[in-house]
Amino acid sequence: MKNNMERLVKELQERFGEEYEVVSVKVPKNKEVLDGFQISRRCTGYGIIFYPNFEREPDNYADFWEPIIKKYFKKGLPVDLGEILKPGFILSHLQMRLVSISRNEELLKQYKNVIVPELDLAILFNVNLNEEIDMLIPTKYKGLDVSDEELYRKAYENDADMGYKTMSLDEAANTNGEIGGGDIDDPWCMRVIRNAKGEAYGSSVLLHKDVLQKYADELGTSLILIPSSVHELIYIRDSADEAELDILQTSLLMGNMDIPDQYVLSSHLYRFDRDTQEVTIVR
């Protein structure tokens, strides 16, 4: 499969020319990492990702994908960004995307961000168009005369408007997010938090203390927060001992090894204090 992807990327790059960039990417979705390729117009910070299935497609992969890509381009993406790059559109579709500082130094040089040093995290500003298409705002982008603090405020408001949902690990794919009686009997009550309108960048809930307070009040305890990826957060009751915290962090570190750096949220465990509403690093 690797050779097929390399060949496809090379052939598409030759067909679309130097105005565009075609690269292979790995994208975490639904607890697995998908292999795909992204094509973007250079210097826009914007691209479309496709996921080929080499087992079901004809051997002439580039012939198969070229018309599909051009069909997307006719919609104005990403050849003519048009309305998408207007300030009003950007601000109305803005989300917070939390990432690890240490693992994304180059990314933070290229795109606008706000650093949250006490959590060892950075906030990137993501313009979310749909599940497959999104855009980070480049540092040198001149079309948006707004401070980073204003970007943060607007993205925070948009995330709050979309809301969050919780689910058990087993129900993660098909739940409405309600906590049931059986979960309350679980000693840890391990839950997953995601964006209520999709799975993109739900880990921003880490900064929404009112939402975390609601979950803590439901359980009657402070929370341990496990940053499983930029798309979701796992929380449990604050009842784990040191040995159990070691196990949780080891599992987190092992899981991070299979995820591209830009999708790793953190190697830390966090704690939300029910009384003070403060989020701190546990380890």
- The mean-pLDDT minimum among 8-17, 46-55, 167-176 falls in 167-176
Tokens of 7: 């060949």
Q: Which of 165-179, 224-238, 269-283 has the highest mean pLDDT?
A: 269-283
Instruction: Give 79: exposed, middle or buried? Use CB within 10 Å, 0-12, 13-18, 19+.
Output: middle
* Residue 184: pLDDT over 50: no
Give the 3-state secondary structure of residue 83: helix
- The pLDDT of residue 172 is 53
* Residue 190: pLDDT over 80: no
Q: How distant is the alpha carbon of residue 56 from its chain centre?
A: 28
- CA distances for 87 relative to 91, 143, 195, angstroms: 6, 7, 24
Q: Residue 226: which of 183, 264, 196 has the closest Cα?
A: 264
Please, are residues 222 and 240 in contact by the beta-carbon 8 Å criterion?
no
**Mean pLDDT, residues 127-138:** 67
What's the half-sphere exposure (Cβ side, CA atoms, 13 Å) at 200?
20
Given the DSSP bridges, would you call strands 164-168 and 121-128 parallel, antiparallel or unpaired? Answer: unpaired
**Mean pLDDT, residues 31-53:** 75
pLDDT-based confidence at 116, cuts 50/70/90? Answer: very high
Tokens of 203: 């880990």
pLDDT of 149-181, one tens digit each?
899 999 999 989 888 877 766 665 454 444 444
- The mean-pLDDT minimum among 23-32, 121-130, 251-260, 272-281 falls in 251-260
**Mean pLDDT, residues 254-259:** 62
Residue with tokens 């079901």: 56
* Residue 44: pLDDT over 70: no
Please, are residues 69 and 12 in contact by the beta-carbon 8 Å criterion?
yes
Please state, rounded to an integer, the average pLDDT across all residues of the chain. Answer: 76
H helix or E strand, kind and range, residue 281: strand 279-281
- The pLDDT of residue 154 is 93
Tokens of 171: 């129900």
φ, ψ for residue 61, nearest 5 deg: -60, -45
What is the 3-state secondary structure of 128-139? ECCCCEEEECEC
* Residue 230: pLDDT over 50: yes
Please, are residues 193 and 202 in contact by the beta-carbon 8 Å criterion?
yes
Indicate the pTM of the whole model.
0.64
Between 121 and 34, the more confident residue is: 121
H helix or E strand, kind and range, residue 10: helix 2-16
